[in-house]
Amino acid sequence: MVFSSAVFLWIFLPLVFAGNLLTGKRLSNLFLLLASLFFYAWGEPLLVVLMIFSVIWNYLAGLLIENCRHKKTVLFLGTAVDLLLLGYYKYAGFLLRSINTVSGASFEVPDIVLPIGISFFTFQAISYIADVYRGRVKASKDPLPVAVYISFFPQLIAGPIVQYADVEKQLRERKMTAEGFALGFRRFIYGLGKKVLIANVLAKCADAVFDHGAAGVGMLPAWIGALAYTFQIYYDFSGYSDMALGLGQMFGFKFPENFNYPYLSKSITEFWRRWHMTLGAWFREYVYIPLGGNRKGKARTYANLWIVFFLTGLWHGADLSFILWGLYHGALSFIERLGFKKVLDKSKVLSRLLCFTAVCIGWVLFRAENTAEGLAMIAAMFTPAEGMKLWELGDMKTAVIAGCAVIGSGVMQALVPAKLKARYRESVLEAFVCAAVLFFCLAALAGAGYNPFIYYQF
């Protein structure tokens, strides 16, 4: 079940919201846990057992860490089991295929169904036991807060990745208000609009180019396809994050922001402070800093950065393309740290243009069917040649939506005066805009339009 579906919008969400109101504070966590497990079981009827196991395992690990002398051993075992489950479901096939390719062996590659959102809820589970070990939070004696934290449906399948310390108090004490519901519903509508009205339209243009393949695509269509996907993935993922934050607010939770107009970045370093901010915070908190961060000299700092970017690419998918994408960003960050960032800082316009172009090229590896096709598409972007006709990429609607995507990715927010934005917030005009966005989203979904979800595979 996805947020941008009729079942979720018309049936699941209204019933869960009403049910949560009726159960009251005392039974709210139990009700939300059952609703979240049902939400997960809708798409994964059998693999919901994996979710339940993750909850029980990490709840018990947290108690053991707090109440035994061998805390580090328990942390290691708890984390190892979490990562082994993630590794089996997400990376076993990739590993066997790689061994077969390199060694010429013929190991049978099992057809393993990837549990939805396993990367997200696994990282949250590790966050819980790691924070208990470090004394940042107390282990919960009540299993319900831990269960809701790991399984809560708004951020279950696409984040944001929430650290337990950020929501510990909210899991025990939270208040649903009419104002919170209104603000959350508004945020949800904006996210739904990003996903349905922008990302889904641009997806058709990107698919037309990447499904055609690099051979004979032409330089201009290759760039158009890359740009279409660049904005598609932003509006798809940030739209889902907005919906998650809005839903959380409707139920009395405040989740951390996940995006801050990343395409306005003047460097790759800044881009990763603005893109998927909760993933970056997770790797910084639980990988980069434990490895030594930047406290042990330049060589160690660079090595730690390379490790983090490698793992960031691997986290996104079990394929060489994702690893190369992560290392590509690592290389760009490395070059900036060697002194190129000082050059970028001399011109805000040029630095933003170079950063955006570099990010756009990287997304080609992310989108292509395989590494060879991705590299061929990048080559096509820099090789003058005739290819696909522009009308094969979309119509006037696609062009208009593309223009809106560019303006809405930070350009408008940067240019509009703060006073004007403040006057728009919670005004009659904004209420009208939200109503119109919701109407057009529901109309598009009722028409059974194209509705892909990029981060479903993670």
What is the rounded CA–CA span in Å between residue 229 and residue 198?
A: 11
> Of 174, 201, 219, which marks where a domain is finished?
174
Say if CB 313 and CB 325 are below 8 A apart: yes
Note whether 204 and 164 are same-domain residues: no
Peptide bond into 160 cis (omega under 30): yes
On the 0-12 / 13-18 / 19+ scale of CB atoms within 10 A, 110 is exposed
Tell me which amino acid residue 305 is: L
Q: Which of 154, 174, 194 is the last residue of a domain?
A: 174
In-domain check, residue 285 = no
12 pLDDT higher than 90: yes
Number of alpha carbons in the 13 Å side-chain half-sphere of residue 23: 18
What gap in Å lies between CA 311 and CA 383, rounded to an integer?
Answer: 32
- pLDDT of the residue at 391: 87
In a domain, 385, yes or no: yes
Are 71 and 164 members of one domain? yes
Per the confidence metrics, is the pTM higher than 0.85?
yes
Count of Cβ atoms closer than 10 Å to residue 393 Cβ: 22
Task: Give the pLDDT confidence of 126-170 residue by residue, as tens digits.
Answer: 999 999 999 999 999 999 999 999 999 998 888 799 999 999 999
User: 296 in a domain, yes or no?
Assistant: no
pLDDT at 387 over 80: yes
- DSSP string covering 403-434, please? HHHHIIIIIHHHHS-HHHHHHHTTSHHHHHHH
In this prediction, residues 178-207 reach a mean pLDDT of 94
Do residues 230 and 371 share a domain? Answer: yes
Q: Which two tokens stand for residue 56?
A: 């029980």
Tokens of 22: 């009726």
pLDDT of residue 456: 58
Q: How many domains does the chain have?
A: 2
Query: What are the tens digits of pLDDT across the range 408-424?
Result: 998 888 888 888 888 88
In tens, the pLDDT along 295-314 reads 888 888 899 999 999 999 99
Give the domain-ending residue among 138, 155, 174.
Answer: 174
Find the domain containing 428 and state its range: 180-266+345-457
| pLDDT for position 112 | 85
pLDDT at 352: 93
Report pLDDT for 419.
86
* pLDDT bracket for residue 457 (50, 70, 90): low
Segments in 336-449 forming alpha helices (H)? 341-344, 348-367, 371-381, 396-406, 412-415, 418-424, 428-446
Task: Report percent pLDDT > 90 for the chain.
Answer: 69
pLDDT tens sequence across 41-70: 987 788 899 999 999 999 999 999 998 889
316 is catalytic: yes
The amino acid that residue 426 corresponds to is E
Statement to judge: residues 20 and 95 lie in one domain = yes
- The string of pLDDT tens digits covering residues 202-235 is 999 999 999 999 999 999 999 999 999 999 999 9
Which amino acid, one-letter code, is at 237? F
Active-site annotation holder among 70, 212, 276, 316: 316
Same domain, 168 and 69: yes
Question: Do 404 and 388 fall into the same domain?
Answer: yes
233 and 138 together in one domain: no
329 falls within a domain? no
* Mean of per-residue pLDDT scores for the chain: 91
Q: What is the pLDDT of residue 44?
A: 76
Whether residue 453 is predicted with pLDDT greater than 70 in this model: the reply is: no
Q: Are the beta carbons of 251 and 39 closer than 8 angstroms?
A: no
Maximum Cα–Cα distance across the chain:
69
Per-residue model confidence (pLDDT) at position 455:
61
Measured distance CA(33)–CA(37) in Å, rounded: 6
Mean pLDDT along residues 23-39: 92
Token pair for residue 234? 């932003």
Question: CA nearest 67: which of 123, 140, 124, 146?
Answer: 140
The pLDDT value recorded for residue 416 is: 85
Give CB contacts under 8 A, 24+ apart, made by 42-50: 42/1, 42/7, 43/1, 43/116, 44/113, 44/115, 44/116, 47/113, 47/115, 47/116, 50/85, 50/89, 50/115, 50/118
Residue 277, domain member (yes or no): no
Task: State whether 184 and 170 are in the same domain.
Answer: no
Q: What are phi and psi of 354, to 5 degrees?
A: -65, -40
Can you give the pLDDT at residue 117? Answer: 87
Q: Is the pLDDT of residue 347 over 90?
A: no
The answer to whether the CB of 262 falls within 8 A of the CB of 271 is yes
Task: Select from 201, 280, 263 the least CA-distant residue to 444.
Answer: 201
Same domain, 241 and 357: yes
Give me the amino acid identity at 145: P
Q: 243 and 132, same structural domain?
A: no
Same domain, 216 and 233: yes
Q: Is residue 323 in a domain? A: no
> Domain for residue 356, yes or no?
yes
User: CB under 8 Å to 313, separation ≥6 — which residues?
Assistant: 322, 323, 324, 325, 326, 327, 329
Position 101 scores a pLDDT of 83
Within this chain, do residues 13 and 72 fall inside the same structural domain, yes or no?
yes
* CA gap 250, 16 in Å, rounded: 11
pLDDT over 80 (residue 257): yes
